[in-house]
Amino acid sequence: MSGVERLDGGPRSAVVVGAGVVGLSTAWFLQERGVDVTVVDRTGVAAGASWGNAGWIAPGLAIPLNEPAVLRYGLRSLFDPAAPLHIPLTADPGLWSFLTRFAAQCRWSSWTRAAKANLPLNEESIEAYDVLTANGVGAPTFDAPITAAFTTAEQARGLLRELERLARAGQPVEHAELSAVELGVPLASSALTAGVRIDGQRFVDPGGFVQALGRSVVVRGATIRSFEVADVVAERGGVSVRTAEGSAIKADVAVLATGAWLPRLAGRTGVRTPVRAGRGYSFTVPVDRPVPGPVYLPEVRVACTPYQGKLRVAGTMEFRDPDAPLDEARVDAIIKSVRPLFDGVAWDERTDVWVGPRPVTPDGRALIGATRTPGVYVAGGHGMWGLAQGPVTGRLLAEQITTGKQPGALREFDPLR
């Protein structure tokens, strides 16, 4: 295992590249272990996937993406530009190489391995948030079940089967089947006739929480700097985080937590598992009746969350370059799919229209741990569950960095696999 060996048993300084929830959580837990931290991001705190997502801390729905049905659905979606899963028919050899590897992992043995790997992250995800909020991160988390709503009882049985598979993999999820009158979704139209309530979940204002986490890291002594990192290299006694202009920050260790941009730096450190941007869209709309908790619409793959007195609507998995511009057609497709399912929504008054890249790996497992470059670690590739699993990832990686020992929970996430 790579790392910097010190007589006192651990590094004294670290540079964390990436100011999203994963990077800032790693910085925070490194500080808990006495490490001086500098955080670097090219655009600032919560500027990537951490701002506009649905805000779910939902271990009960952290279901691996690589199940066989997704492969079949993806093939059908290729020829439907309005489908929730959008794969552009472009000449991008990197994308098609990734999709080929993903397709090879869409089998139940790989799905089960990913589900079992995620168990320790899911088991401790909410508790890791409690550690943060009890120790200076000034942003609330909200307890609420997630209500999955469906047009038919048969559609609801699809989610129930997924929850049964999770339970067989070792993660039982407390849930209840709901009739139309039991849904408890004030905006539900008559088209929604069945549901499943996922208990024991939480949600947050994701951008607000990550900004509060960043403030806490600064109050505890860190510096947050904004510049593009060109390279991270090992040097005698530590690492050097370099800009394109030739300046550098030196530290004992570095952590790469750059989300969908992870391959640009991690590829130079021996990490060969590809990471692609599965871009998600969101926007905020006024509603006639407040929604008490998150609502999931699996048939159209849309997540809805109470947000600042309105409703945040999030959806789409779009495989494009992480820096590609927002495509209004994807927003229109989300609205078209949800409009028949909800009443009392002012769709034409939407604000905060956003696209953000979620880092997806082909095997459904994140990349967390040491690389071949001494003193350089990576943390990313959580797919749609980076917000839920970010704090616990930071805690486990901080343990590995400061003790030199890989926690058992991270073995399946070895970035050199």
pLDDT band (50, 70, 90) for residue 69: confident
- What pLDDT was estimated at residue 246? 87
When the pLDDT of each residue in the chain is averaged and rounded to a whole number, the result is: 93
Secondary structure of residue 281 in the 3-state scheme: strand
Percent of the chain with pLDDT strictly greater than 90:
87
Q: Which residues contact 145 (CB under 8 A, 6 or more apart)?
A: 197, 198, 199, 200, 201, 293
Tokens, residue 378 = 């990576």
Mean pLDDT of 327-352: 96
Contacts of residue 79, Cβ cutoff 8 Å, sequence gap at least 6 = none
Q: Evaluate whether the domain defined by 13-413 bears CATH number 3.30.390.50.
A: no
Q: What's phi and psi for 137, nearest 5 deg?
A: -85, 105
413 close to 120: Cβ distance less than 8 angstroms:
no
Residue range 22-50, pLDDT digits in tens: 999 999 999 999 999 999 999 999 888 88
Q: Where along the chain do its domains lie?
A: 13-413
Asked whether the beta carbons of 23 and 379 are under 8 A apart, the reply is yes
Tens-digit pLDDT profile for residues 103-134: 999 999 999 999 999 999 999 999 999 999 99
- How long is the chain? 417
Q: How many CB atoms lie within 10 A of CB 262?
A: 26
pLDDT at 76: 64
Running DSSP on this structure, what letter comes out for residue 326?
P
